Amino acid sequence: MLVTLEGLDGSGKTTVWNALGDAYPEAVRTREPTESWYGEAVYRSIDEETADPLAELFLYTADHADHLSRVIRPALSEGKLVISDRYSDSRYAYQGATLAGEVDDPVAYVQSIHEPFTRMPDLTFYLDLDPETAAERSGKTNKFEQATYLERVSENYERLIAAEPDRFVRVDATQSPETVAEQVRTRLATVLD
C-alpha cells in the first residue's frame, strides 16, 4: 500500500513521517525530492530564484520517475507498506502554481504528464494549515515558503481534494504535533486492519 503525506511547507509532514516510522518500523519510508542525484538537481533548482518553471517541473518529474522505478514499485511489489513524505500531488499543487500564466490549466497539465507512468497513492494525508502559519513554521528559507505563493498552492490542493475526496484524509495541522500524529496513526491503522 502506498501512503503519502501532503501539505504546505511547514505543515508537519516530516514530523508525522517520523512518528509513523516508530509505529511501522517495517515500512519503507521515503520522500520527494529524493536523495538521488536527480533530487540534488531539484534542490539546486529550488535555490535558484530565476529557475525556469517548466524546466523545474521536468526536474521534479525526472526525480519522481526514478523514485518510482528504484524505490516505490519494487517495495510495493514485495507487498511492503510505503510511506512517502511528498509525492505527485506536491507537483500538481506547487508546479500548478509556478506554471500559472505559462500553460493553460497548469494543474491539469502537470497531471497529464504524470498519468502515463505514475502510480497513484492509495491513501493521502493532507496536513491542513493556513499559508501564513505554514510560511512562519517553515522559516521562509526557500522561494516556495512565502505566504502569497503558498496561498495559490493551497488552492490547488483544495482542488485535488475535491476531485478525490475518498483518497484524501484531511487532518487539522494546527493541533499539537502529538495529536496530529495520533490522528494519522489511528486512521492508518483502520485502513491497514
Residue 110 contacts ligand LXEULUCI per CB under 6 A: no
Residue 137 contacts ligand ATP per CB under 6 A: yes
The upper half-sphere exposure of residue 117, i.e. CA atoms within 13 Å in the direction of its Cβ, equals 13
Residue 33 contacts ligand LXEULUCI per CB under 6 A: yes
**Residue of the chain from 17, 24, 94, 125 that contacts ligand LXEULUCI (CB under 6 A):** 94
12 annotated as a binding-site residue: yes
User: Could you tell me the smallest distance in angstroms from the CB atom of residue 18 to ligand ATP?
Assistant: 8
The β-bridge relationship of strands 2-7 and 82-85 is parallel
**Residue of the chain from 138, 149, 157, 161 that contacts ligand ATP (CB under 6 A):** 138
The β-bridge relationship of strands 168-172 and 82-85 is unpaired
User: Could you tell me the smallest distance in angstroms from the CB atom of residue 139 to ligand ATP?
Assistant: 8
The upper half-sphere exposure of residue 68, i.e. CA atoms within 13 Å in the direction of its Cβ, equals 15
Residue list 155-184, contact with ligand LXEULUCI (CB under 6 A): none
Residue 176 contacts ligand ATP per CB under 6 A: yes
CB atoms within 10 A of CB 179: 13
Beta strands in the chain (DSSP E): 2-7, 28-31, 82-85, 123-128, 168-172
Contact 15, 125 (CB under 8 A): no
Give the position of cell 485535488. Answer: 160
Residue 22 contacts ligand ATP per CB under 6 A: no
The upper half-sphere exposure of residue 44, i.e. CA atoms within 13 Å in the direction of its Cβ, equals 9
**Residue of the chain from 24, 38, 60, 126 that contacts ligand LXEULUCI (CB under 6 A):** 60
Chain positions contacting ligand LXEULUCI, by CB under 6 A: 9, 32-33, 46, 60, 86, 90-91, 94-95, 142, 144-145
Chain positions contacting ligand ATP, by CB under 6 A: 7, 9-15, 137-138, 173, 175-177, 180
